[in-house]
Structure 1
Amino acid sequence: MEINGLEFRPAGYAYLLDKLGLAADMPHWHTSFVSSSGAHRSIVKNGAIEDMYPVRYWPGEKVGDHLEFALKYDGVNLGLLARIFDNVSREDLTEYIKSKPTGKYARRIWFFYEFLMGKQLPVDDITSGNYVDALESKEYYAVQNGDKSPRYRIVNNLLGPKTFCPVVRLTEKLSKLDSSDLRKRCEDIVTAYPPELLRRALSYLYNKETKSSFEIEHIKPSASRTEKFITSLELAEKEDFCEKERLIELQNRIVDPRFKDNDYRENQNYVGQTVAYQKAIIHFICPKPDDLPGLMEGLIDSHKRMKAGNVSPVIHAAAIAYGFVFLHPFEDGNGRIHRILIHNILSLQEMVPSGLMFPVSAVILKNPADYDASLESFSRPLLQLIDYRLDEIGQMTVENDTAIWYRYMDMTAQAEALYEFIIKTMEEELVEELSFLANYDNTKKAIQDIIDMPDRLIDLFIQLCLQNNGSLSARKRSAHFDFLTDEELAAMEQAVKDGYNRLD
């Protein structure tokens, strides 16, 4: 291409995709060009970076050199690598690796090829030299006890197996968020309140999370479904749900009994809305049913790998919970399970102090645009890559191979979003609930000092006053508190206003 008279040639992934005729693919966060002259400069477009490098950066015309350039400057994208490896000459790759037998980028390319393709190149094992990580720890989240692959002298510190292996970049935003000890911040919040209040707060938080999770999907559950969801949240603090049988049990507990599944779905699912007769707007297309068992097995193995590999709890929760909802393994309940998995993993990784839970769904409900953006950063570009048809009753058939795009997701955007939700949950929702209960206790004691009446009536009085900006309406007084004198009523209303000083 040409800009202001300067010629720019694609390099790295962009060069290889163009050379191999692989135009249609998931967008990558970084694209490289080399200019005919001029200095290095960067352009940010819709969150993606385009880097223009001086001519001295040009790697040449060989596939191996552009793969090395890609790993150096564009970063690791397992989906793009798999697509490129599937279309490139094995001879060209072998020649490149043999020309740089100890080079760290050549070894990584060699490792990634055999990891992703499941085939060996005709290259002899390396017998000496230092080990290098498959992912640079200063640029990516990775497992901390990766297994050594002596063939390439590479430490496999990837977040998952080849059947499901997400990548999360250590962006500036995530680096800042991760540097603050979230558990310590949470403990500092809760230690300001007495243990008895915290025990009571837990019941409120379970109810709030349950109500919010259903409300996100515009569902009004029955009392029994609400109780079953609360039970699932309680179990999420103690048990690991990320096993096939446990996920099916969980789905059975939280959906309408008529829509229980006894295995992963066997139909082609999609998320959309009907706008006219036989016309629908498609928002998200799920993996093919035939691809689902392998993807879900990979997701579960990835969870186990991150759990054992001391991966940051929020990164772990984002990769598995968002991965689950993108795979959409059940006919119903996927979104609610996705949010329960967030709680499950944060508890298993001991980020949440024992006996407490984060009402993350309440924050999501208050920030729907941010939540939708975290889903659409994957779902929207994916739509452009899937060939599908709908029949007259809305049954979908996907006509091209799509598994690779679900298998190797870059989940950086989802991790950033979840971090934001968790911080807001801790510093806003959690503090709000605990403060409300503490104020409630103080107000209740102040009212008891004015008049000794049953707890039920004190609770009702506070509730009615809070609904009316600190005052009891004449109608409510007549219906419930006609025994109060004017002096008692005025003093009790003042107690409510003092207890909740946000009221006028």
Structure 2
Amino acid sequence: MDIHAFSDPVAAYGDRRLPEPARPAGYAALITDFDLSVPLPATLSAIAERHRVYEQGSWRIFGPRYAPDPTLEGHLVFALKNEGLDLCVLKRLFDKASRRDLEAMISAKPGSAYMRRIWFLFEWLTGERLDLDDAPPVGAYADVVDTDQQYAAEAKTSTRHRVRNNLPGDREFCPLVRRTPAIDAFRSMKLDEKARKITGAVSNSVLARAAAFLLLKDSRSSYAIEGEAPSHSRIQRWGKAIGQAGQYPLDAEELLRLQRIVMGDARFVRLGFRDEGGFVGDHAPDTRIPLPVHISARHDDLESLVGGLIAFNARHGGGLDPIIAAAVLAFGFVYIHPFADGNGRIHRYLIHHVLAERSFSPRGMAFPISSVIFDRMDDYRHVLESYSERLLPVIEWRPTEKMNVDVLNETADFYRYFDATPHVTFLYECVQRTIEHDLPEEVAFLERYDRFRAAIGKEIEMPDSTIDLLFNFLRQNGGKLSKRAREKEFAALRPHELARVEALYSEAFSAPEE
């Protein structure tokens, strides 16, 4: 089948300007020629006249020798060879393409690894069987996911197609992550080993206190991200749930349990999975019309999408790097947005769940991911919007009487298959900071504090609670007791004792660590 799009170079593709006049190729050509309503890939490809390959903005430009044949086969093979798998585009393409054209294309080249991969992907994505005999038992098996391009899970062979299915999910939920130098560099750091080395060198009492503090810090920050300042008891209750992450199987009942804990007093919030539309955003001040920045999955699709999430965690994510698996699961959940409220905090909980379940985080220790996210809110929003901004233009919706959104087109594929590369990079950055900075800094602080408290106890008899108060005054005033503290709370200290207290604080907290 011939592809008629872009016989001549163009300067723009939709609202995306090209770096130079070029002919869009691969997925860009297929999307246009088949009129596919899909979120555009973050990076598109095009063929220019100059003999060089480069990336600029949202484009990867190839020289003329890379130009594919202007056919379905040509652009499909170009996409698989140069752009990796975009399962959403492929699913919508297979829904529209002629079965006879696909069968003729595949049967003409039974030995081609690209044809066998396309054949497998068609049947896997659509659940339909092409009228083709099983592949002859000759030649090497081909990986469905090219691991030089994208990260994959443990492979299972498909003898019908003579391929190894190393997709990291099933057809209900299978986001993919591009292989990048940044992510490869993070993986080589072995951050989990660094964390275990830090905690292994710390006394049990200090470690327990550090874990408790970081847990509370994460719980408080997770609410702060949502703009909430709940009671201390509610923060502690959610912190306790985070501390139990990874201990219970992830299923629908577990998600509902977590929502109940998150929401606390639910008199004004409907608990359970949504039975109507949902969106993230505001309402127009005059008309109350929804102004979404993200539209949630249709409630009709929640059963299969949530089931896909659960299956990914239970069966498929295990072969992936734990950070990759955690990012895919957590950001997939927040894009689906299955609840009316509580989605953001459960989304961040799922990161802890995967890291604990896969033994990435030390036993009993929850990295304060939410605290880092709260410090990097602009980056966090940018990561969330990296997909939402491409998703919104292809969702057709209308406002409801309650000023919610009613989605009119089929959108489930948009939440099943997305590129989670920026989400993985961001999560790795957050985890790196918690392990290389937050965790050792908290441990060092507690060790210094213990030295200060022990030194005070040797020289001046005072209760632990009074030492705590003394420490807080010193910390708030740069290591010096304020005039108010000298005259009131610690008026009983003699002048030489006051000087000694300040000196002990300086020894404990000003001297560099060995």
Give 1:32's match in structure 2, choosing from 45, 52, 56.
Answer: 45
Aligned position for 1:90: 99
Residue 125 (structure 2) pairs with residue 116 (structure 1) = yes
- Look up the SS of the partner of 1:443 in the other structure: helix
**1:15 correspondence with 2:29:** yes
**Corresponding residue for residue 142 of structure 1:** 152
C-alpha distance after superposition, 1:441-488 (max 9, x if no partner): 111112122212111100111012111211222223333212111211
- 2:235 alignment partner in structure 1: 226
- The structural deviation recorded for 1:7 is 6.3
**Which residue among 167, 186, 197 is the counterpart of 1:158?**
167
> Which of residues 315, 319, 325 is equivalent to 2:328?
319
C-alpha deviation, 1:262, in angstroms: 5.5
How far does residue 150 in structure 1 lie from its aligned partner after superposition?
0.9
State the distance in 2 between where 1:328 and 1:477 align: 55
Q: Deviations over 1:310-329 (max 9, x none)?
A: 31000010000111111111
The whole-number CA distance in structure 2 between the counterparts of 1:423 and 1:120 is 45
Q: AA paired with 1:31?
A: L
Give the conservation status (yes or no) of the 8 Å contact 1:32–1:52.
yes
Give distance in 2, aligned partners of 1:266 and 1:256: 21
Q: Deviations over 1:399-437 (max 9, x none)?
A: 222111111111111011100010011112112211111
Q: Is the 8 A contact 1:205 1:359 kept in 2?
A: yes
Aligned pairs for 1:318-337 within 5 A = 318-337=327-346
Q: Superposition pairs for residues 21-420 of structure 1, below 5 Å?
A: 21-22=35-36, 24-35=37-48, 37-45=49-57, 48-54=58-64, 56-129=65-138, 130-144=140-154, 146-240=155-249, 242-258=250-266, 263-274=272-283, 276-279=285-288, 280-307=290-317, 309-391=318-400, 393-420=402-429
Q: Look up the match of 1:459.
A: 468
Would the aligned equivalents of 2:46 and 2:59 in 1 still touch at CA under 8 Å? Answer: no
**Deviations for 1:182-222, whole angstroms, at most 9, x for unmatched residues?**
11111222233222210121111111111111111111122
Contact preservation (8 Å) 1:362, 1:429 = no
Cα distance between partner residues in 2 of 1:267 and 1:2:
42
Alpha-carbon shift at residue 302 of structure 1 (Å)? 1.1
- 1:472 aligned onto 2:481: yes
1:260 to partner: Cα distance: 6.4
| C-alpha distance in 2 between matches for 1:402 and 1:237 | 31
Contact 1:389–1:398 under 8 Å retained in 2: yes
- Mapped to 1, the partners of 2:43 and 2:281 lie a distance apart of 30
Query: Is 1:427 equivalent to 2:440 in the alignment?
Result: no
Following the alignment from structure 1 to structure 2, what is the Cα–Cα distance between the partners of residues 470 and 390? 59
Q: Which moved more, 1:173-182 or 1:382-391?
A: 382-391
| 275-284 or 372-381, which deviates more | 275-284
Q: Give the CA deviation at 1:62.
A: 1.9
Compared with structure 1, are the counterparts of its residues 57 and 111 closer, same or farther at alpha carbon in structure 2 (3 Å cutoff)?
Answer: same
Indicate if the aligned counterparts of 2:84 and 2:150 stay in contact, CA closer than 8 A.
Answer: no
Corresponding residue number in structure 2 for 1:493: 502
Deviations 1:271-327 (A, max 9, x none): 1124523245322110111011111111111111234x4310000100001111111
Instruction: Classify 1:432/1:281 alpha carbon distance in 2 versus 1 (closer, same or farther; 3 Å).
Output: farther
Q: CA deviation at 1:497?
A: 2.4
**Residue equivalent to 2:14:** none
The one-letter code sitting in structure 2 at the alignment partner of 1:183 is D
Shift of 1:393: 4.1
- 194-203 vs 270-279, greater mean Cα deviation: 270-279
| Identity across the alignment (%) | 37
SS of the residue 1:480 aligns to? coil
User: Following the alignment from structure 1 to structure 2, what is the Cα–Cα distance between the partners of residues 57 and 63?
Assistant: 16
Q: Is the 8 A contact 2:369 2:430 kept in 1?
A: yes
Q: CA deviation at 1:34?
A: 2.5
| TM-aligned CA deviation for residue 502 of structure 1 | 8.0
Structure 2 distance, partners of 1:153, 1:326, is 34
SS at the partner of 2:88?
helix
Tell me the amino acid that sits aligned with residue 297 of structure 1.
G
Aligned partners of 1:164 and 1:295 also within 8 Å:
yes
TM-score (norm 1): 0.94
d(CA) in 2 for partners of 1:306 and 1:373? 28
State the one-letter code of the partner of 2:501: M
What SS does the corresponding residue of 1:283 show, helix, strand or coil?
strand
Q: Deviations over 1:222-245 (max 9, x none)?
A: 2332232122012114233x2111
Secondary structure of the structure 1 residue equivalent to 2:319: coil
SS at match of 1:404: helix
SS across alignment from 2:23:
strand
Cα RMSD after superposing both structures: 2.0
Amino acid at match of 2:62: M
> Whole-Å Cα distance in 1 between the matches of residues 119 and 145 of structure 2?
14
Match for 1:266: what amino acid? D
Q: List alignment gaps of at least 5 residues for structure 2.
A: 1-8, 12-17
Q: SS of the residue aligned with 1:397? A: strand
- Measure how far apart 1:117 and its partner are: 0.9
Distance 1:77 1:471 in 2: 61
Aligned counterparts of 1:389 and 1:365: Cα–Cα separation in 2: 33
User: How far, CA to CA, are the matches of 1:89 and 1:70 in structure 2?
Assistant: 19
Q: Are the equivalent residues in 2 in contact too, given 1:314–1:419 (CA < 8 A)? A: yes
